[in-house]
Chains A and B, each alone.
Chain A
């Protein structure tokens, strides 16, 4: 492993931030709690034919249209079983609502910026471009998702 502590972070910038964690298969991922609006249980998601594969469809959140994104598809994991349950992490980005379809939602965890390390260069390119960094935990690595970069990734290329 070539990961190093982020030496460029000065003590002054160092701060504690909270992250909503969720699971995709075995992998746990965190996103800044500030960008999460709410978490919903499985919803009816209306398919949008011809939409980019990342877009699972639209869901209705109290009359607002939310673009649902299946993180499994986007991150190249194998599709969820048809009858498997999932959760929706609703994220507001540039005034628009997105819902990340995830397998499970965990605790809200707080990390000091100090413990967030650079994303390993060995990580799959698709993951790396969407990640802000990683946090080493006792049994696994928690990926910190860069929501903005991730949603840019999903922009249709056409």
Chain B
């Protein structure tokens, strides 16, 4: 292709990309001369060059457009939507012709008479039209040497540094590409020619430069360490100087790869405008932080996801004007695109004030699609539910896109963003709008990392995934808790799952480590603590890929070479999290909770009334209101102390009152609020500092127990809240009472039920319910311990067992019990959150007398009553 033609094509498409935005700016602010002049200049330039290159068709069209713009400029015509539409149509047609020109090197056949007539019609409305038409040159033969001043005008240098990045691709491929050029900066105001101060450089060369500088930085690090030991060395000063220069060089090279994010936004104003006029909506696209810079590699990777999400917001998010009016919103919808730097990351937000997303619909859809179990889905927070939109199975759901907005391709959006180490999340308030928040690293080649050591080996942890560091000193060691074999650290109010790095990597732990450290990592929404022996410095490291023999190891993101020349592995926090099955751990807690929670409620949909109170712990305390008998207040004088316990006379009986927090001085508050519990026969009170609230919430435990007396931690009103274990307090209050009853034998008439579940929470909730119904309850936390009780000769009238348990499951337990001589007659009831006739048949085959859904407490109680009555009658 002719060099001149190629340059013309490149420059024209760059200019045209800017044109779209200028025209839209013009439409918005008809009085503003800047965009108008810019549009006029661009069209004029194209027209002039066309004549020069002998492209008559293009020239004729550009000429008509130019006339129209000139009339606008001189105030002979005024800006209107229809007029701008026509100019945009002309711009589109110019683009089409340029594209054809690019592929065939000749103007396509045909003409644009209709379009030209349409453009000219505007002029004929105007009596002064003739005066605005300037005499036009005839197409001139192409000259081999363009005069210098022409070149300046033809190729106005783009103002942004980013624009210079596109040309290298052109140079590299030898072909100009119109689409690439469209990602020019949207900034138009300060387009002062800067021809002498910028240069087009091949991206390949920049990448090579980047690699070399990376290597140089490594050598610098090695040299610096060699010189570090010896202050007197003649090398000290030169090395220091080298150090400074290398750092600056690294920085400068990194900057050559930086482009303003606006480069990825240029197409968007036009996109939104077209979408809104096609759908008859009014949408304003607000762009903030377009000059936020990030690595071009990343910029390219996010361009498509961004376009997709903005289109979603405009197309599905924003309602049409009548709907907005009806919803009491301004007729004009807003899509806000914002970018900013935030600690080594770029945050991009796409927010709209449209109809938002119906979370309950997403939840239903997720259940239908089999992405989540129905009972589990109820316990998920809205943010967790909205995350399903990014699931592959979800995107194909056709209904959801019409009703609630997003859907198509969101899984692709997520995988594109995650591929560059970013994360994406969606928030929405139904009826109010939705916000997508993307978090991406600034650059991929060099990262900041924390160097840690475990079992004598060093590792780098990308700083990006690190939230904080905790040093586990002797006194803090008690904050490390063990729950079901998994370790947790009590970090403020949150239980942080711990991963021992040496255990995970199968390294021999060192015996001489005194204090370990916890590197708190965040992967998506999951936090976990990485236990390491030692934490060293942070360092800028060059990420190097690992060889193919170890590529399959998900624990690593790559490797790097340290200042002293050693190779160390870079840990990949998300790989570590999945290896340690952090997610499964918490979801197991959630599923137990889901089952437990629904066992209390009448239906699956129901939320729970939860009583919130303050007991002097850092976290708010909670208890399901269904377990509370009454709320009372007592004057300090009514508390009597006996046998190390506080007692109050209450409704004709002396009942024990236990402080919710051992540090509470019961008499210190007047009146002292007390929560009364009753399990059927016994009443007791728990003294608290203040009753705070009663809320309707889904009880969804995020973490298992933090300390005795607590079943788990859940989030209520956005705060970590501890759910107390009422059974624990009952046992505290009636420790002696239990024993005395055992002796007197009054209890022996009550059917004795063994309740087995590996979820302490579930036991804590169902046991009081059964006790309240008059049963004598013994609990076991697993099939194995239940069998041990039976083997030890304990007798029961009935056994209730969970089906899904760690270790031996309910089916195996039933079979084992039935094999025992005394087990043949024992009544066995299965509780499950699974439903399905196969399971039912399997349960009956295994020897269960009844197979009940876990969430239906009333059925459980009535079935147990029916079976035990029959049992007793038969006996």
Q: Does A pair with B?
A: yes
Binding site for B on A (CB under 8 A): 44, 46-52, 54-55, 57-60, 63, 65, 67, 69, 96-98, 154-156, 158
Is B548 interfacial (CB 8 A cutoff)? yes
Q: Are A63 and B218 in contact (CB under 8 A)?
A: yes
Q: Which residue of B lies closest to A45 (CB)?
A: B567
Is B215 interfacial (CB 8 A cutoff)? yes
Q: Are B457 and A58 in contact (CB under 8 A)?
A: no
**Shortest distance in angstroms between B577's beta carbon and chain A's nearest beta carbon?**
15
**How long is the Cα–Cα vector from A58 to B552 in the complex, in angstroms?**
15
Taken residue by residue from 530 to 553, chain B's Cβ proximity to chain A (1 for < 8 Å, 0 otherwise) reads as 000000000000001111111011
Q: Are A60 and B565 in contact (CB under 8 A)?
A: yes
Contact of B559 among A49, A54, A58 (CB under 8 A): A58
**How long is the Cα–Cα vector from A154 to B569 in the complex, in angstroms?**
20
Q: Are A49 and B567 in contact (CB under 8 A)?
A: no
Residues of B within 8 A of A48 (CB): 546, 550, 553, 556, 569
**Shortest distance in angstroms between B505's beta carbon and chain A's nearest beta carbon?**
4
Q: Are A51 and B550 in contact (CB under 8 A)?
A: yes
User: Which of B218, B505, B553, B567 has the largest count of A CB atoms less than 10 A from its CB?
Assistant: B567
Q: Which residue of A lies closest to B569 (CB)?
A: A48
Residues of A within 8 A of B507 (CB): 49
**Shortest distance in angstroms between B496's beta carbon and chain A's nearest beta carbon?**
23
User: Which of A46, A54, A57, A59 has the largest count of B CB atoms less than 10 A from its CB?
Assistant: A46
**Shortest distance in angstroms between B550's beta carbon and chain A's nearest beta carbon?**
5
Is B555 interfacial (CB 8 A cutoff)? yes
**Shortest distance in angstroms between A146's beta carbon and chain B's nearest beta carbon?**
17
Q: Are A55 and B549 in contact (CB under 8 A)?
A: yes
**A-B contact sample (16 more), CB < 8 A, given A46-B569, A67-B547, A96-B548:** A46-B566, A46-B567, A46-B568, A48-B546, A48-B553, A49-B457, A50-B555, A51-B550, A55-B550, A57-B567, A58-B559, A59-B567, A60-B566, A60-B567, A63-B218, A156-B552
Is B372 interfacial (CB 8 A cutoff)? no
Contact of B549 among A47, A51, A59 (CB under 8 A): A51
**How long is the Cα–Cα vector from A60 to B218 in the complex, in angstroms?**
11
Q: Which residue of A lies closest to B560 (CB)?
A: A65
Q: Which residue of B lies closest to A49 (CB)?
A: B505
Q: Which residue of A lies closest to B561 (CB)?
A: A60
**Shortest distance in angstroms between A48's beta carbon and chain B's nearest beta carbon?**
5
Is B736 interfacial (CB 8 A cutoff)? no
Which parts of B565-604 form the interface with A (CB within 8 Å)?
Answer: 565-569
Binding site for A on B (CB under 8 A): 215, 218-219, 457, 505-507, 544-550, 552-553, 555-556, 559, 561, 565-569
**Shortest distance in angstroms between B703's beta carbon and chain A's nearest beta carbon?**
29
Q: Are B547 and A65 in contact (CB under 8 A)?
A: yes
**How long is the Cα–Cα vector from A44 to B547 in the complex, in angstroms?**
17
Q: Which residue of A lies closest to B542 (CB)?
A: A63
**How long is the Cα–Cα vector from A98 to B559 in the complex, in angstroms?**
15
Q: Which residue of B lies closest to A52 (CB)?
A: B549
A-B contact pairs, 17 of them (CB 8 A): A44-B565, A46-B567, A47-B457, A48-B569, A49-B505, A50-B506, A50-B555, A51-B553, A52-B550, A57-B567, A58-B567, A65-B559, A67-B546, A67-B549, A69-B549, A96-B547, A158-B552
Residues of B within 8 A of A59 (CB): 567
List of 7 A-B pairs having minimum Cβ-Cβ separation, nearest first: A49-B505, A67-B547, A46-B567, A58-B567, A51-B550, A63-B215, A60-B567
**Shortest distance in angstroms between A60's beta carbon and chain B's nearest beta carbon?**
5
Q: Are A44 and B559 in contact (CB under 8 A)?
A: no
Q: Are A54 and B549 in contact (CB under 8 A)?
A: yes
Q: Which residue of A lies closest to B579 (CB)?
A: A50
Contact of B544 among A44, A57, A65 (CB under 8 A): A65
Contact of B566 among A44, A55, A158 (CB under 8 A): A44
User: Which of A69, A98, A156 has the largest count of B CB atoms less than 10 A from its CB?
Assistant: A156
**How long is the Cα–Cα vector from A151 to B506 in the complex, in angstroms?**
25
Residues of A within 8 A of B218 (CB): 63
Q: Which residue of A lies closest to B547 (CB)?
A: A67
Residues of A within 8 A of B219 (CB): 63
**How long is the Cα–Cα vector from A88 to B219 in the complex, in angstroms?**
22
Q: Which residue of B lies closest to A97 (CB)?
A: B547
**How long is the Cα–Cα vector from A54 to B546 in the complex, in angstroms?**
15
**How long is the Cα–Cα vector from A48 to B215 in the complex, in angstroms?**
22
Q: Which residue of A lies closest to B457 (CB)?
A: A47
Residues of B within 8 A of A60 (CB): 561, 565-567
Q: Are A98 and B547 in contact (CB under 8 A)?
A: yes
Residues of A within 8 A of B559 (CB): 46, 58, 65
